[in-house]
Structure 1
Amino acid sequence: MIDYNTVLQTLVVASSSIRGADQQMAEAQLKNWEAEKGFHYHLQSVYINRELSLQVRWLAVICLKNGVEKYWRPTRINAITKEEKLEIRKRLFMTLDESNNQLTIQNAHLISRICRIDFPVEWPTLFEDMILIMDACSHEVNNSVVKLNNLMIIMNQVLKILCTVRIGKARIMLQTKAPILIPHFVKFYHLFFDQWSATFDVAIMEVGYMFLKCLRRLIADGYTYQHRDKSVQEFMELSLQHFQKLLLLHETNPLELLERYIKCYVKLYYNLVRENACAFGLMSCSINILLTLLSLLQQKAELIYNLEVEADGSDFWEKIAIKSFVIMKSITNFVFQEQRSNIVKQRNDKVEVDHCVELLRSKFFTVELVESLINLITDYYLKLRPTDLESWSDSPEEWFNEEMAVNWEFQVRKCAENYFQDLSSHFNEQISTFIMNKIEQLGNDNLDAISKDATLSIFELSANSIRSKCNFYQLLVDYFIPQALQSNDIVNSKLIKRRVCLIINEWFDEKGDSNVRVQVYTFLSNLLADSNNDIIVKLTAVQTLKYMVDDWEFRKRDFQKFNVDIVKNMLELVNSLSSTECKIFILNTLSVVIERNTPLISNELLIETVSIVPIFWQNSNSANEMIIKNSLLRLLKDITISLNKDSHLIHQIVIPLISVCCDYKSEFYGLLCEDGLELWSSVMKTIDSAGVISAKLSDSQYLQMLTHALVNMTEVLPLVLTIIRSYFLVTCAILDNEYGAEIFTVFASYLKTMKDDAVFLTSSIIEIAIMEPDTETNKEVFYNNLTKSRLFQEIIDYLIRDSDNPYCEIKLCLPILRVMIDKTEYFISNITPFELYLLLRNLVKFTRNQFDPKVRKLFLLGLLSLYKNMQYVENGAILFAETDPEAEIEFKLQQQDKQSAIASVLHHWVTAVIELSIVFVEEIRENDDGDLPVYHKHTAYDDEELREIGEEVEDEDKDNEYVQEVAVPVSVERERFTVLVSGDPVHRVVFRRALRDVASGVFNSATLQQRLGPAVVEELQRV
């Protein structure tokens, strides 16, 4: 049994500044005691003992806080007992006069975690208890300010953690307690505000600030309808008065604490607007708050514009401006957006919402105010600031990355741009005239470059609202592009060029015709080629290029004459960059350009692009640049696909990288394996012959990597299966070894839990192996692996089980049907009579429900193959009816030897098979080779990616421009597949002849004729 002194001595050793074996043993002992009864109570006893050192008390409260997190809930193993928790709760507020702020904060975290679990069930009087303590502290002569400050630090943490609760009673109960807490908070806040504003006592300011902070949290999250509470209304009015007073005071005395107060007021308004814009709007002082914020934006516009980011604390006004813009944005959208269903929580809310909207429309959003707001944003907040231009000059790549990635809520210009887009949407009539007037003034020689850029930015931001008011494409060709190209002033030139690129990004849509696109490509090509253009202009041109090329309306023929220049200029640009993000951006854009322009980019240019890979690979080994390798692999993948049959030209670079990325022993495996597999797949699809593959990719190292990926990379299982299928398409002999057997064993273990796409690929792999011409010894090895791995048995089990996924079942039937046709003896020898009965039942059912001629023919050829050899049918007997229970059928089959039982099953299903075959013969008209155009149509059971060349795709119009645009040369893999499919029995076996072969055997069997009946026999004779 542990006691106080034992715990104390262990804490003293563990908190020693000298690391050693004793300290490690003490830490381990503390860990072991966590499950002991009374341990956490003793930790609290150490913490509240002021005579002990800070280090010991600090460690005690940390251990106690962590223990509460782990063991306070009664459902936890080794949970703290109810009695111990009660004793701990009694002493939580015993250290309110603590002078060490960090210890107080840790105690606050401890108490908040207890409240999160215990309130309101175990500790329903939490807030009443804290109010009593608050009142008691205020009447003390000594340390009252310290105690109240520490109590409010605790209160702040409690409110913070309870306000995050979304499920359970805690938040609901907090809202019932809020009206009790608010008057006390306001009383003390008012008291301390009056005191410190007269004396500027820092201690008084701190405690007053804590009361304000708690009020902020409680008002925003402690009410559903803040505007209906009189105390909240009164405090909001008081807060506005104090806010305005402190703004004036800050002009002469810019103290940090004053700034914290001002931020807190703005955060109060911000949180309330984001939580409930209607409640904010119905506050009696809401319009005055908005006007104050607007006045602040107006007064501080010049200051914010000229702020130096490097100066300490200089972003204070920028943060205030950002919050002010977000408040304005939320209110604007609340008033002018049509759909407000998300804020109507009860039926009577709609009346209040409508009243609030009407009030703000009429009293706040006047025509004059909107015009003033637009001018304010345009004149100051949309302009590039001196700090922007400085960063542009000194760190262009870093500035470009920030512009691409920064969240609009963290930078005042981005925030203003976002709000202006909302204004242009809600006030498009006013803004469209305003914008066009501004555009007309761009020719004014007195207008500086930054003002021109800001004017163009408002045009850029208004794309969605004034599109119908102007002819953008005429403006682009006749005005914007010439303006960007003719300017002689360097600063003016680079600003306008960048902005015109951004305008194209925002405005260009499907209505832009081919001629305009060509002019845009010419413009972008000029920007990339001109050595006088700086990095920002070129990077922005690449950004626009990516947007244009990756567009649905992109046409590779229009872009063809720009391919060489643009790709070469991008290669030159990427070699000049130092930023990892910018390099990745260019490499990704190159990938898009190559992918969308296949096959119109020459091999020479593609190989020149590949030449940058070794250098970039070698130079990207640091932790910060490692991610460049992913982009290089994606680029190589797209180049490999584009080269197609000529991909062997880059194998000396590509194939070694596959092992570097996909070998689980490689240092790059975790980061690059998936992209490495993508590259591997593209190489396999474009390898021209089996001779090429045998040189490298059939090495045991690569086959071992493939099996390892199959076992361990299940999140990209379809990708791994695609690679395996590519190997089988080259030649099955590659996998006639232990790796092939292991692959089949993994297939067998996965099959019943595979997703549909993986099932389809697995089925396709087995089909390909069966369809391969039997010119080598590989077929015997394949069938041996199929048996030893239990994959054949797993497929049979899959097909005879109860399932609600006929789509996958039919797909998996296809390899089994091909086994029946290819190796009937193998099939019969590896299936039990009862399994055969269940399988044939499902095969007949699927055949009846299958209307695709190609798939239906394969089903019937497979079924008929069982009746070609009469030895499987001889000695069959009528043992059971179809209505007999399955258990009875299984029992009767077990009473016979296997050959007789198999014959009995085949006798049972012969009528259904022959009837379905006769119907099929009557429906189709095959040519002399057994083929038919409809057999070459794409079906739901064919792979979208791997199609026979010339295969017809339903509803595909070859003259359609979109179809022509996405068309690419036939891959080598499709050529291999087409050759393979040319020997498919579906295309090579005349079905009528196959049925006649079976019929001849039937006519020699009196038992079968009796089973069929005279009507079916007569129809069979007419075939």
Structure 2
Amino acid sequence: MALSASDLPVVYGLLTNSMSGDERVRKPAETALSQSESRPGFCSCLMEVIISKDLASQDVRLMASVYFKNSISRYWRTRRDSLGISTEEKVHLRQKLVSHLGEENDQIAQMLAVLISKIARFDYPKEWPALFSNLAERLQSADILTSHRIFMILFRTLKELSTKRLTSDQRNYSEISSHFFNYSWHLWQNDVQTILHGFASLLQNYDSNSQQHHVELYLICERWLLCLKIIRQLVISGYPGDSKSMQEVQPVKEVCPILLTAAQSFLPYYASFLNRYPKFWDFVKRACTKLMKVIVSIQGRHPYSFGDVCVLHPVMEFCLSNITDPRSEVAAFENFLIQCMILVKVILECKEYKPSLTGRAMDESRVSLEQMKKNISNAAGNLLASLMPSERIVLLCNILIRRYFVLTAIDLEEWYQNPESFHHEQDMVQWTEKLRPCAEALYIVLFENYSQLLGPVVVSIVEEAMNGCPVSVTEITPGLLLKDAAYGAAAYVYYELSNYLSFKDWFNGALSLELSNDHPNMRIIHRKVALILGQWVSEIKDDIKRPVYCALIKLLQDKDLSVRLAACRSLCLHVEDANFLQREFADLLPICFNFCFKLVEEVQEFDSKVQILNLISILVGHENEVIPFANQLVQFFQKVWEESTGESLLQIQLLIALRNFVIALDDQSTISYNILLPILHKGIDINSPDELNLLEDSMELWEATISHAPSMVPQLLTFFPCLLEIMERSFDHLQVAVNIIEGYIILGGSDFLRMHASYIAKLLDLIVGNVNDRGLLSVLPVIDTLIQCFPAEVPPTITSTLQKLILICLSGGDDRDPSKTAVRAFSAAILARILVMNTTYLAQLTSDPSLLHMLQNAGVHVEETVLLCLMDVWLDKVDNASSTQRKTYGLALSIILTLRLPQVLDKLDQILRYEPFLSCICFLFFYIYLHPILCPFLDMMNIYLVFAQVL
């Protein structure tokens, strides 16, 4: 029944109760609201609550907007199972939303903007064609607050519509861009001037500014930011990428230089407002960062238009000068420097700016699309070359290493206070979030582009640093910090620097001496040496691998946790290396395990435990001799599992380590069962709260456990029903499941079949007919194995599955599909095997009325008998069958020949064309004509079964 205005007090009361701290009050209210969502009129009641500023509390209004949003997501589209929201109510709601644009509460205003954007996704332009024109009209006479809210709605709506990918939707978006861009752009430019004028007034009249003036100016600032986001959205999504369309995007050339100018204008206020106007200082920080991010995103979308001299030249000049010689306000503005580095990095690695090395065909009369791309790329490449002369490249490289790579006093204090956290912040942080990782990323791209120029430069910096800070120096001096930075620079570009620097000489000389100095301050260098030993792994020759392994083991027992974790990571790289020398590491394995066990006791952070467990897992997976350490590893795994409750990533790493452990133990894997089987049981339990995260790795562990078990144990047998529950949920892990089933068949034998025959039947019936051809090809070998192992017991158990295989064989339609042909050939071979090994059962199966009914429902017409139809399939698919399958076909046909049916004899010439069939016929001839004289004691089926074993 529909809700009306009279129900408004009830809805208001339910919304109020849904926020109660008393669960006895909250739960019934939430249930009632959930049940009301699909009722007509519910959204209209919520809308009335939202717009009742004076009558309803702010919390209730916000809650109403949340329920409104959820209802739109679920019921705005027409649904068959619910009356939902009628067309009349939708019209009413759209009118109400557009009329309520001056919402004062920020949270509710944001929620209303989201509401309108979601409705626009469904209704624009067919049901709501006047949306943008109405908003534009309201903008003409809006006050500052209302205009801010309108721009909030515009941004949300444009962002929502930009995700629609149909051609018609993109065409509509282009039309919006063409209408709205100019208006938004002019308003944005006007607001820039207003804001800058307001900022100047703030500094000149610090004491006399009224609070009301601050509020209005801040609203203009926020509106300006929204307008900037809209402009970005229009330029990015309103035009096709120019690298594909080859159409110049004029707004790029108009917008980017002015965005750059705006950033330059705002930057001085970053320092001026810091202690005087915190709110406006925060805006300047966000504005400058956002301006640079918009330029980065425009370059990524329209690289060719961005490559014009009026854009690329000022942008690169601005960014490079800020990186190499920043003004005081920029030097302290880390986020802005990061954006400058990101922009230089993406420009340097942009493939559209790489000069083409191919020429143009001599007889080509017109400029092709590819030639246009080459021309633009060459022009942009030449412009970059002029902006990046050798002197500037060398200067930038030096600045990055000598200024941005060097650890600061704050870094050293953080390291001293918490070495573990410092390691992870330096090692795992996203490169776009911190200045030093961003500088390192830019340096790597710079070196890749100009390796021949910079190779000798980096080597000279390394040599200068080593000479300026001998190994005997233990004080934390600028020279020591420069050496740390230089070592880092050498580590990051090992693949190119090896042409200019001999690792063997470096290691045997300076690096080994560095490691011999155990002063606490040397942790700075030791950590970077650990990094070098890991990064240079591919360049390390066999004759020094052993000393390098020993060096890493030594670093693994350093007093500083950050150094030990760095050594742990580098050891992983060495053990995983294709040229890892196992024989040279064998005697170090006990020491390595012991230090890992100790290290995991000392660390506190989750990431550290994952990293150590990863090394242990890799060691177990690459070393054959782990049995001497089996008891220690079992105890270690047990402890880690007990401590990993609620930490899915750590548990996943443990499952991987256990899998490697089981594989390494092979037939002695039973010594791990005390810990392995309980963990495995939890991982494959689909009712476990961690099922979603652990199931994939648990399945692989289960497969490894079955594959390497010397015999079946009762507890493993009890796990099998879990496989049916997993497959009933999804076929995501089908291939692993198939391997597990096959392992149980071979390992469990008749005991397994006796206990779980019904589960096997359900599993196969679930899979066959519900998976694609690739899935069928993975499960058919299991059915074949089952029949070979239990020819008398299995076929009657899996009748439903075999009927589906007959349907597959007789359905046809595989002439042009190799995978369907393979499925039919394999299915036919399975049925042929049953005929050979259990002839009576196949005769019953092919004459079963339920089979004939199923074939009839599927539209398969059987002219004679199903068995003769199968004979046609065997003859038809012989060329698509494997050698073993062809022999099975031949043996099955030899049995059919004993029936002496005219339909069979008519095809005798076709049968005799194939060698496998011919050999079977010879065998049959031997039996029929010579058997009474030579072998009166033999039974024909016994001979067939002996012959079948050969298959």
1:688 aligns with 2:688: no
Contact 1:481–1:523 (8 Å) recurs in 2: no
Q: Return the match for 1:519 from 547, 554, 559.
A: 547
Q: What is the CA–CA distance in structure 2 between the aligned matches of 1:100 and 1:328, rounded to whole Å?
A: 41
1:256 aligns with 2:272: no
Q: What is the CA–CA distance in structure 1 between the aligned matches of 2:875 and 2:572, rounded to whole Å?
A: 53
Q: Return the match for 2:392 from 369, 372, 389.
A: 369
Deviation of the 1:407 alpha carbon: 1.7
> Helix, strand or coil: the match of 1:688?
coil
**In the alignment, which residue of structure 2 is the partner of 1:644?**
666
Counterpart AA for 1:916: Y
Contact 2:121–2:160 (8 Å) recurs in 1: yes
Matching of residues 199-214 of structure 1 within 5 Å: 199=202, 201-214=213-226
After superposition, the Cα gap between the structure-2 partners of 1:726 and 1:435, relative to the gap in structure 1 and judged at 3 Å, is same
Q: What is the CA–CA distance in structure 2 between the aligned matches of 1:708 and 1:117, rounded to whole Å?
A: 38
Contact 1:233–1:284 (8 Å) recurs in 2: no
Q: What is the CA–CA distance in structure 1 between the aligned matches of 2:356 and 2:37, rounded to whole Å?
A: 51
1:334 aligns with 2:363: no
Q: Return the match for 2:196 from 186, 193, 198.
A: 193
1:541 aligns with 2:572: no
Q: Return the match for 1:714 from 720, 725, 731.
A: 731
Q: Return the match for 1:499 from 512, 528, 533.
A: 528
> Helix, strand or coil: the match of 1:553?
coil
Deviation of the 1:415 alpha carbon: 1.2
Contact 1:644–1:686 (8 Å) recurs in 2: yes
Provide the aligned C-alpha RMSD in A: 4.1
After superposition, the Cα gap between the structure-2 partners of 1:551 and 1:94, relative to the gap in structure 1 and judged at 3 Å, is same
After superposition, the Cα gap between the structure-2 partners of 1:846 and 1:68, relative to the gap in structure 1 and judged at 3 Å, is closer
Matching of residues 317-466 of structure 1 within 5 Å: 317-334=333-350, 337-338=353-354, 355-362=379-386, 364-446=387-469, 448-466=479-497
**In the alignment, which residue of structure 2 is the partner of 1:173?**
175
Contact 1:381–1:416 (8 Å) recurs in 2: yes
Q: TM-score, normalised by structure 1?
A: 0.74
Contact 1:183–1:231 (8 Å) recurs in 2: no
Cα shift readout 1:501-553 (whole Å, capped 9, x = no counterpart)? 323433332x644323333323223323x4x4422222222212222222333
Structure 2, unmatched stretches of 5+, are 203-208, 240-247, 358-367, 470-477, 848-863, 934-951
**In the alignment, which residue of structure 2 is the partner of 1:552?**
578
**In the alignment, which residue of structure 2 is the partner of 1:183?**
186
1:634 aligns with 2:656: yes
Q: What is the CA–CA distance in structure 2 between the aligned matches of 1:390 and 1:183, rounded to whole Å?
A: 49
Q: How many residues align?
A: 862
- Report the more deviating stretch, 732-741 or 147-156: 147-156
Q: Return the match for 2:105 from 100, 103, 106.
A: 100
**In the alignment, which residue of structure 1 is the partner of 2:834?**
819
**In the alignment, which residue of structure 1 is the partner of 2:805?**
795
Q: What is the CA–CA distance in structure 1 between the aligned matches of 2:573 and 2:606, rounded to whole Å?
A: 21
Deviation of the 1:732 alpha carbon: 2.5
- Report the more deviating stretch, 293-302 or 802-811: 293-302
Deviation of the 1:453 alpha carbon: 1.4
Contact 1:246–1:258 (8 Å) recurs in 2: yes
Matching of residues 754-765 of structure 1 within 5 Å: 754-755=771-772, 759=776, 762-765=779-782
**In the alignment, which residue of structure 1 is the partner of 2:617?**
591
> Helix, strand or coil: the match of 2:266?
helix
Contact 1:274–1:330 (8 Å) recurs in 2: no
Deviation of the 1:326 alpha carbon: 1.0
Deviation of the 1:26 alpha carbon: 7.0
After superposition, the Cα gap between the structure-2 partners of 1:73 and 1:641, relative to the gap in structure 1 and judged at 3 Å, is closer
Matching of residues 491-890 of structure 1 within 5 Å: 491-492=521-522, 494-509=523-538, 512-528=540-556, 530=557, 532-598=558-624, 601-620=625-644, 622-624=645-647, 627-662=649-684, 672-689=694-711, 693=712, 696-698=715-717, 701-709=718-726, 711-712=728-729, 714-737=731-754, 739-755=756-772, 759=776, 762-772=779-789, 780-786=792-798, 789-802=799-812, 803=814, 804=817, 805-832=820-847, 834-848=865-879, 852=883, 854-867=884-897, 872-873=898-899, 876-878=900-902, 880=903
Matching of residues 137-152 of structure 1 within 5 Å: 137=142, 144-152=143-151
Q: TM-score, normalised by structure 2?
A: 0.80
Cα shift readout 1:746-773 (whole Å, capped 9, x = no counterpart)? 313422334566545544444444545x
Q: What is the CA–CA distance in structure 2 between the aligned matches of 1:65 and 1:450, rounded to whole Å?
A: 55
After superposition, the Cα gap between the structure-2 partners of 1:836 and 1:97, relative to the gap in structure 1 and judged at 3 Å, is closer
Cα shift readout 1:939-968 (whole Å, capped 9, x = no counterpart)? xxxxxxxxxxxxxxxxxxxxxxxxxxxxxx
Counterpart AA for 1:835: V
Counterpart AA for 1:191: T
Q: Return the match for 2:914 from 897, 904, 916.
A: 916
After superposition, the Cα gap between the structure-2 partners of 1:9 and 1:607, relative to the gap in structure 1 and judged at 3 Å, is closer
Deviation of the 1:730 alpha carbon: 3.1
Contact 2:652–2:697 (8 Å) recurs in 1: yes
After superposition, the Cα gap between the structure-2 partners of 1:92 and 1:859, relative to the gap in structure 1 and judged at 3 Å, is closer
Q: What is the CA–CA distance in structure 1 between the aligned matches of 2:833 and 2:21, rounded to whole Å?
A: 72
After superposition, the Cα gap between the structure-2 partners of 1:463 and 1:836, relative to the gap in structure 1 and judged at 3 Å, is same
Counterpart AA for 2:635: S
Counterpart AA for 2:534: N
Contact 2:313–2:383 (8 Å) recurs in 1: no
After superposition, the Cα gap between the structure-2 partners of 1:110 and 1:992, relative to the gap in structure 1 and judged at 3 Å, is closer
Contact 1:850–1:856 (8 Å) recurs in 2: yes
Counterpart AA for 1:845: D
**In the alignment, which residue of structure 2 is the partner of 1:474?**
504
Q: Which of these two proteins has the greater Rg computed from alpha carbons?
A: 1
Contact 1:270–1:323 (8 Å) recurs in 2: yes
After superposition, the Cα gap between the structure-2 partners of 1:222 and 1:791, relative to the gap in structure 1 and judged at 3 Å, is closer
Q: What is the CA–CA distance in structure 2 between the aligned matches of 1:640 and 1:438, rounded to whole Å?
A: 49
- Report the more deviating stretch, 398-407 or 666-675: 666-675
Identity of aligned residues (%): 19
Contact 2:828–2:873 (8 Å) recurs in 1: no
**In the alignment, which residue of structure 2 is the partner of 1:1010?**
none
Deviation of the 1:417 alpha carbon: 0.9
Deviation of the 1:799 alpha carbon: 3.1
Q: What is the CA–CA distance in structure 1 between the aligned matches of 2:351 and 2:880, rounded to whole Å?
A: 58
Counterpart AA for 1:454: A
Q: What is the CA–CA distance in structure 1 between the aligned matches of 2:677 and 2:351, rounded to whole Å?
A: 61
Deviation of the 1:423 alpha carbon: 0.5
Deviation of the 1:216 alpha carbon: 1.8
Counterpart AA for 1:631: Q
> Helix, strand or coil: the match of 1:552?
coil
> Helix, strand or coil: the match of 2:914?
helix
Deviation of the 1:172 alpha carbon: 0.8
Matching of residues 293-308 of structure 1 within 5 Å: 293-298=319-324
Counterpart AA for 1:198: S
Deviation of the 1:435 alpha carbon: 0.4
Counterpart AA for 1:136: S
Deviation of the 1:413 alpha carbon: 1.3
Contact 1:153–1:210 (8 Å) recurs in 2: no
Contact 1:374–1:420 (8 Å) recurs in 2: yes
After superposition, the Cα gap between the structure-2 partners of 1:822 and 1:131, relative to the gap in structure 1 and judged at 3 Å, is closer
Contact 1:397–1:535 (8 Å) recurs in 2: yes
Counterpart AA for 2:12: L
